[in-house]
Amino acid sequence: MQSNTVQSIDVETYMQSVGRRARAAAILIAKLPTEEKNKALLAIADRIQAQQGEILEANALDMQRGRDLNLTAALLDRLDLNADRINAMARGCRQVAALPDPVGEMTAFDTRPSGIKVGKMRVPLGVIGIIYESRPNVTIDAAALCFKSGNAVILRGGSEAINSNLAIANCIHQGLADAGISTDCVQVIETTDRAVVGALITADEYVDIIIPRGGKRLIERIGAEATVPVIKHLEGLCHIYIDDEADVAKAVNVAYNAKARRYGICGAMETLLVAAPIAEKVLPPLAHRFAEKGVALRGCEQTRKIISDIEEATEKDWQTEYLDGILAIRIVDDLDAAIDHIARYGSHHTDAIITENQDKAQRFLREVDSSSVMWNASTQFADGFEYGLGAEIGISTNKLHVRGPVGLEGLTTQKYIVTGDGTVRD
Amino acid sequence: MQSNTVQSIDVETYMQSVGRRARAAAILIAKLPTEEKNKALLAIADRIQAQQGEILEANALDMQRGRDLNLTAALLDRLDLNADRINAMARGCRQVAALPDPVGEMTAFDTRPSGIKVGKMRVPLGVIGIIYESRPNVTIDAAALCFKSGNAVILRGGSEAINSNLAIANCIHQGLADAGISTDCVQVIETTDRAVVGALITADEYVDIIIPRGGKRLIERIGAEATVPVIKHLEGLCHIYIDDEADVAKAVNVAYNAKARRYGICGAMETLLVAAPIAEKVLPPLAHRFAEKGVALRGCEQTRKIISDIEEATEKDWQTEYLDGILAIRIVDDLDAAIDHIARYGSHHTDAIITENQDKAQRFLREVDSSSVMWNASTQFADGFEYGLGAEIGISTNKLHVRGPVGLEGLTTQKYIVTGDGTVRD
């Protein structure tokens, strides 16, 4: 008990120091010119490549410990670094340097009857806390995005990657120093004490927003316990609805891609809804392609009249994000029934309609309440790079502030700029 | 104890029913055409005017009870309704009908290398909970703004105004019914049980956002206990900095207006910062005008060398939002010292610089981290109507989602719209 108490006092002191330094750094970085930020990002990229050896050595320690702890093969793969992955980190950093800087962007000014002119300026949020698991590349990816958008960042990675993360942090700090910028702009938590997470997500005085990157359990826990606002990235229980006026070839291609391109991403389709009049045309060729790929189908009663050799889908299937080679299929009466199903079971992430009828497409796009709604396109497009954001720090399932893929602009806010000529209010 | 338990079970059941109906209504209202929403708003305005007698009778009951409970004169004034105030409610409702509808607005589509087109559509938030005190006009003002922006709303007013609020709710429901729209779109809580507030701010399943309107204590309590996101409107500790390159006449006029026009609004100046080189020119005429108005000045040591007959300002004065005829004055060395003072003591609400030097103005506008930053204009302009939002549901001191005066757009969010032609991801 005694040692616990001492430890938690230490964490508190440590986190207050981290928080104070982040807040002070945020004031400096908010006013850095774009060129200086870009220079620092390029210096960091150079350091990452020059110090590949040190990073690989640190990573080897984490990998050894991971094997000793019997981490799963999937976890070990996410933890593992090699020359390719390190080069990708440096390349990512240079790509962020090349992106336009959102900070300082102004809207047009509107002259009001009183004589004042009113506009909005885009500004950084302040201090961003990132809590993430295993993948060490998040350390550099998230740091680059927060830095470019003028925010100070506090990074808390998983204990399994602590050596890799600290080696990468070392490169970041040297790059910042090369560019003459305070290393407090990017702080990587040096302790694996779990009390840090609790302290970070309740540090309202020092932290403006928390972005968790990891599994559903991590994100739900942080959402429940945080007092600092959280940009959540929860599950993607995505649907495709094949309308009776769909083009059959497009429908088959898009539905196949939406499931089979990659199972494990949040934009993967989990439930396929098919309008009854077109089911006999669409389902047999789709079933054939899915069978070749090894995707297991589960269907409603009507579906199983068309594809007979598949498991029955139960209520639970409509509620499940498989993230795997499994697909639930339901035949529905019409567009209304599809929209109702999505409203009831969906996770408001990404949903698509396949149809040649523009009016029905418009209704779907308007009425389905998801962060991305699509027409005749694969749900696997739900991604910041695909949308042209240049980079992505996550996909927000929040409704407030930022929804869907989050790029640099999502890490900023706006303030009102009002100018006059000695103007007073009546 | 027994009766408490029974009561809180009732509140829970009641609030679940309210929440479920709001969620269902939100789906309907989100797709209502603008004309139908406007028709309903005009019908509500008609009902308010036609049923002035009933509203006044209900208000008389609240006023009598308020007097019996010895409410302060200020509270009774906020509670009191008369023909003018009721006509203003109807007029406000018609003004909201005349505002442009933000729902459905589209950004331009961007065609991506993959062939998909990506744009954003503005959509309602869903269900909004409003928690407010005394003024019964909030019932109709907030209902009209939430309704026009396509949101269902749950209104929980103060117990002191319950009869007035229910009489107004009656008009709203009749107006909605006249227009053939579900009355569940606007629900006014019918019980004064305080457990309702706790239930509403933790009803994540049914409520998308909470907007508290009331004193600082109410807002802080809701911020601390809510699990639903909150748009907070906290204090305005606003500054004006008179730079050494200010025009003296403009400086005196703006500073006087910023304090003396109205003391009690959040955009009122609370601390005046004056650059040392201009203090002897600016302070004597200002002191003269403030003396005429009866504003009590408190000054730093240097200020008291120029205006000798005023109280000394202490550390506590720099931290105080007076909302009264009191002003703290501090002489500072230069722009940097002014920015530092504002960063240290300000509430990030509204701050202004008076100067003829454009470079210094730009630095102030860029570096002061407040929801509104102003140049040569009075801080009392911080207001949704003055900014051209057409209406205002409050002034957000949040950094996320919406900052500064909140109009219809602040009650909406955006979703991504992606279209293709059977497009799949590589």
d(C-alpha A259, C-alpha A289), whole Å: 11
Calculate what percentage of chain A has a pLDDT beyond 90. 86
Cβ-defined contact of B403 to A413 (cutoff 8 Å)? yes
Cβ-defined contact of B373 to A417 (cutoff 8 Å)? yes
* Residue B233 clears pLDDT 90, i.e. is over it: no
pLDDT at residue B363, rounded to an integer: 96
Residue B424 domain-assigned? no
Return the residue of B nearest to A411 by Cα: B400
Sequential DSSP letters for B64-120: HHHHHTT--HHHHHHH---HHHHHHHHHHHHHHHHSPP-TT-BPPPEE-TTS-EEEE
Sequential DSSP letters for A161-188: GHHHHHHHHHHHHHHHHHTT--GGGEEE
Residues B212 and B242 in one domain: no
Q: Which chain A residues are within 8 Å of B401, Cβ to Cβ?
A: 400-401
- Asked if residue A152 lies in contact with residue A185, where contact means CB atoms within 8 angstroms, the answer is yes
Q: Which two tokens stand for residue B69?
A: 């409970």
ipTM of the prediction: 0.91
Cβ-defined contact of A421 to B376 (cutoff 8 Å)? yes
Cβ–Cβ contact A31 with B under 8 A: yes
Angle (CA) A300 A318 B413, round 5°:
135
For B152, the 3-state DSSP assignment is strand
d(C-alpha A198, C-alpha A194), whole Å: 7
Instruction: Kindly state the average pLDDT of the residues A211-237.
Output: 88
Sequential DSSP letters for A274-296: EEGGGHHHHHHHHHHHHHHHTPE
Q: Which chain A residues are within 8 Å of B382, Cβ to Cβ?
A: 416, 418
Confidence of residue B214 (pLDDT cuts 50, 70, 90): confident
Residue A398 domain-assigned? no
Mutate to test the interface with B, among A269, A400, A412 (most CBs of B within 10 A): A400
Closest C-alpha among A398, A383, A370 to residue A212? A398
A83 Cα to chain B: minimum distance (Å): 25
Lowest-confidence pick of A180-189, A314-323, B133-142: B133-142
Cβ-defined contact of A253 to B422 (cutoff 8 Å)? yes
Q: Which chain B residues are within 8 Å of A382, Cβ to Cβ?
A: 416, 418
Lowest-confidence pick of A166-170, A208-212, A217-221, B238-242: A217-221
Cβ-defined contact of B418 to A125 (cutoff 8 Å)? no
Sequential DSSP letters for B400-415: SS--EEE-TGGGEEEE
Lowest-confidence pick of A167-181, A286-300, B391-405: B391-405
Packed helices A358-367 and A335-345: angle between N→C axes, nearest 10 degrees: 20
Q: Which chain B residues are within 8 Å of A31, Cβ to Cβ?
A: 366-367
Residues B225 and B353 in one domain: no
Q: Tokens 């390190």 — which residue?
A: A86
d(C-alpha A316, C-alpha A323), whole Å: 15
Q: Is A115 left (phi over 0), alpha (psi -120 to 50) or beta?
A: left
Closest C-alpha among A124, A137, A207 to residue A172? A137
Phi, then psi, of B314 in degrees rounded to 5 = -110, 175
Calculate what percentage of chain A has a pLDDT beyond 70. 98
- Asked if residue A62 lies in contact with residue A164, where contact means CB atoms within 8 angstroms, the answer is yes
Across the interface, which of A121, A404, A419 has its CB nearest the CB of B376?
Answer: A419
Across the interface, which of A373, A386, A417 has its CB nearest the CB of B417?
Answer: A373
DSSP code of B160? G
Cβ–Cβ contact A396 with B under 8 A: no
A58 Cα to chain B: minimum distance (Å): 35
Residues B18 and B118 in one domain: yes
- Asked if residue B370 lies in contact with residue B352, where contact means CB atoms within 8 angstroms, the answer is no
Lowest-confidence pick of A20-29, A398-407, B118-127: A398-407
A352 Cα to chain B: minimum distance (Å): 9
pLDDT at residue B8, rounded to an integer: 57
Residue B93 domain-assigned? yes
Residues B12 and B139 in one domain: yes
Could you report the per-residue pLDDT of A132-145, keeping only the tens digit for each? 987 899 999 999 99
Return the residue of A nearest to B29 by Cα: A367
Angle (CA) A332 A334 A340, round 5°:
75
Cβ–Cβ contact B424 with A under 8 A: yes
Q: Tokens 């907030």 — which residue?
A: B142
Q: Which two tokens stand for residue A367?
A: 């009425």
Query: Residue-wise over B285-316: b if at least 16 C-beta within 10 A, else e?
Result: ebbeebeeeebebbbbeebbebbeebeebeee
For B166, the 3-state DSSP assignment is helix
Residue A72 domain-assigned? yes
B247 Cα to chain A: minimum distance (Å): 9
Mutate to test the interface with A, among B222, B340, B415, B417 (most CBs of A within 10 A): B415
Residue B82 domain-assigned? yes
Q: Which amino acid belongs to residue A130?
A: I
The CATH number linked to A305 is: 3.40.309.10
d(C-alpha B133, C-alpha B155), whole Å: 11
Q: Which chain A residues are within 8 Å of B418, Cβ to Cβ?
A: 352, 372-375, 377, 381-382, 387
Return the residue of A nearest to B364 by Cα: A417
Lowest-confidence pick of B7-16, B268-277, B386-395: B7-16
DSSP code of B367? H
Cβ–Cβ contact B263 with A under 8 A: no
Residues A230 and A244 in one domain: no
d(C-alpha A119, C-alpha A417), whole Å: 5
d(C-alpha B123, C-alpha A366), whole Å: 8
B17 Cα to chain A: minimum distance (Å): 17
d(C-alpha A365, C-alpha A371), whole Å: 11
Could you report the per-residue pLDDT of A252-280, keeping only the tens digit for each? 999 999 999 999 899 999 999 999 999 99
Cβ–Cβ contact A265 with B under 8 A: no
Lowest-confidence pick of A387-396, B204-213, B253-262: A387-396
d(C-alpha A252, C-alpha A258), whole Å: 10
pLDDT at residue B417, rounded to an integer: 97
Closest C-alpha among A255, A233, A254 to residue A347? A233
Return the residue of B nearest to A255 by Cα: B424
- Around A383, how many Cα atoms within 13 Å sit in the side-chain half-sphere? 15
H or E element in which residue A3 lies: helix A2-30
Mutate to test the interface with A, among B400, B403, B406 (most CBs of A within 10 A): B400
Residues B227 and B253 in one domain: no
Burial class (CB in 10 A: 0-12, 13-18, 19+), A222: buried
Residues A185 and A210 in one domain: yes
Contacts of A357 (CB under 8 A, 6+ apart): A243, A245
Cβ–Cβ contact A66 with B under 8 A: no
Could you report the per-residue pLDDT of A374-416, keeping only the tens digit for each? 999 999 999 999 999 888 898 998 888 889 999 999 999 999 9
Q: Tokens 């706006």 — which residue?
A: A414
* Residue A293 clears pLDDT 70, i.e. is over it: yes
Cβ–Cβ contact B118 with A under 8 A: yes
Cβ-defined contact of A208 to B399 (cutoff 8 Å)? yes
Contacts of B282 (CB under 8 A, 6+ apart): B242, B246, B248, B251, B252, B255, B274
Residues A63 and A114 in one domain: yes
Sequential DSSP letters for A379-419: GGG-SHHHHT-S--SEEE--SSS--EEE-TGGGEEEEEEEE
The range of the structural domain enclosing residue B186 comes to 2-234+406-417
Residues A226 and A304 in one domain: no
Residues A84 and A184 in one domain: yes
> What is each CA distance from B426 to A371, A405, B319, B418, in whole angstroms?
22, 19, 58, 16
Q: Which chain B residues are within 8 Å of A403, Cβ to Cβ?
A: 413-416
pLDDT at residue B6, rounded to an integer: 47
d(C-alpha A246, C-alpha A252), whole Å: 10
Residue B216 domain-assigned? yes
Cβ–Cβ contact B390 with A under 8 A: no
Across the interface, which of B227, B387, B419 has its CB nearest the CB of A376?
Answer: B419
How many domains in chain B?
Answer: 2
d(C-alpha B164, C-alpha B137), whole Å: 9
Confidence of residue A186 (pLDDT cuts 50, 70, 90): very high
For A328, the 3-state DSSP assignment is strand
The CATH number linked to B124 is: 3.40.605.10
Say how far residue A326 (Cα) sits from the centre of its chain. 23
Residue A290 domain-assigned? yes
Cβ–Cβ contact A163 with B under 8 A: no
| pTM for the structure as a whole | 0.90
pLDDT at residue A8, rounded to an integer: 57
Cβ of A7: how many Cβ atoms within 10 Å?
A: 13
Per DSSP, what are the bridge partners of residue B402? none
Angle (CA) A359 A362 A364, round 5°:
110
Residues A293 and A374 in one domain: yes
Residues B259 and B143 in one domain: no
Cβ-defined contact of A413 to B419 (cutoff 8 Å)? no
Residue B387 domain-assigned? no
